[in-house]
Amino acid sequence: MSIEVSRVSKLFGDFVALDDVSVSIPTGQLTALLGPSGGGKSTLLRIIAGLEQADTGRIDIEGRDATRLPARKRNVGFVFQHYAAFKHLSVARNVAFGLEIRKTPKDQTADRVHELLKLVHLEQFADRLPSQLSGGQRQRMALARALAIQPSVLLLDEPFGALDAKVRKELRDWLRRLHDEIPVTTVFVTHDQEEALEVADEIVVINNGRIEQVGSPDELYDAPANYFVMSFLGPVTHLDGKLVRPHDVEIHTQAPVPVAGDTVAGGATGGAQQTAAAGPAVEGTVVRTVRVGFEARVEVAVAGADGADQSVEAVLTRAEARTLGLAPGAKVWLRQAPGSISIDAPAAAEPRELVAAV
């Protein structure tokens, strides 16, 4: 393991930002710290970097106790969302900075800067000033600068957060490819589940100063440990007392023949369960259908346990929606698709609070 975080807690006044957090970050992989705003991701990253001190607990980096080491002695590269470049220095000099202060011989520095600028596709901009770069190019320069000192760990705090969606997506793909080329242990903070699922080898889900789950993108998606993780990883809806994904809700225009509903695989307590066969269907009425790109989102009103109408969302392909001809007011039957996963919804009132927290 490249980074071992053991029983780390951090308070700001009496606010608990991190509560007894332990996690192992594997060597050579891209690990995402994922969670909602204020959950403690940046605080954890800053403690690993040595920019913040934990109140209790221990940090080991590459087998060495780094808990009390100052940031500059931890051999970590760091990139923030708003990268502070030296405005009056060229791109090449910015990248060279870490090497110059370490008194690296000039020719070695020049070679390394050239190599890094090539790696981040900025060779032709070596002599420009940072202000003459686009936001995406500036973040690539920041990465080159962080990599210059050959860090054992690269820490990225929402590195693409300030960029527009298209550039963000490009840089995300680029970071993945870059990491395949030079597999430095990398930890990056994001609140964007899609970014984490797409880029990371491993995801650490953090909420309210605690770790909710650690796993590969597939593990998290296929076996979320709890209600929070499942809700945070993408759209969810409630069907028959369970949290399910809208694309796992089947819509029938006639009452389907019930097949014994059986639960085959349970995760951790309270975690996802996989339905082997479809159980009885729930009757409802179509409220509206909205087409979004190739999908059709169908809102269906069903009678809840308390008698009041509850809204269930189902997502179909456009073709499916067209075949079913779902007009508002149409009577339908909903059931969870066989093989899909669900989590028992917590007792009354709680779901709404949790969804609001997300």
Which residues contact ligand ATP by CB under 6 A?
12, 17, 35, 37-43, 189, 191
Grouping H, G, I as helix, E, B as strand and the rest as coil, residue 180 is helix
How are strands ordered across the β-sheet holding 262-266? 237-239, 242-244, 341-344, 273-277, 262-266
Which residues, 6+ apart, have CB-to-CB distance to 250 below 8 Å?
256, 278, 314, 334, 335, 336, 337
Of 192 and 295, CB closest to ligand ATP:
192
State in angstroms the smallest separation of the CB of 37 from ligand ATP: 3
Of 41 and 245, CB closest to ligand ATP:
41
State in angstroms the smallest separation of the CB of 36 from ligand ATP: 7
State in angstroms the smallest separation of the CB of 77 from ligand ATP: 19
Of 40 and 50, CB closest to ligand ATP:
40
State in angstroms the smallest separation of the CB of 17 from ligand ATP: 4
What is the rounded (10 degree) CA torsion for 98, 100, 102, 108?
100
The Cα 37–Cα 288 span in angstroms is 32
State in angstroms the smallest separation of the CB of 325 from ligand ATP: 44
State in angstroms the smallest separation of the CB of 18 from ligand ATP: 8
Quickly list DSSP for 326-349: --TT-EEEEEEPTT-EEEEPPSTT
Of 171 and 204, CB closest to ligand ATP:
204
State in angstroms the smallest separation of the CB of 82 from ligand ATP: 12
Please calculate the CA angle 315-164-128 and round it to the nearest 5 degrees.
Answer: 155
**Cα 109 from chain centre:** 35
| Alpha helices, DSSP H, located in 182-256 | 193-199, 217-222, 227-232
Residue 101: CB atoms within 10 A of its CB come to: 10
Grouping H, G, I as helix, E, B as strand and the rest as coil, residue 48 is helix
Residue 304: CB atoms within 10 A of its CB come to: 14
Of 206 and 343, CB closest to ligand ATP:
206
Of 15 and 294, CB closest to ligand ATP:
15
State in angstroms the smallest separation of the CB of 44 from ligand ATP: 7
The Cα 336–Cα 278 span in angstroms is 6
Question: Where is 42: in which H helix or E strand?
Answer: helix 41-49
Of 12 and 86, CB closest to ligand ATP:
12
Q: What is the DSSP letter of 21?
A: E
Beta-bridge partners for 23: 5
Grouping H, G, I as helix, E, B as strand and the rest as coil, residue 84 is coil
Of 39 and 98, CB closest to ligand ATP:
39
Of 10 and 112, CB closest to ligand ATP:
10
State in angstroms the smallest separation of the CB of 162 from ligand ATP: 12
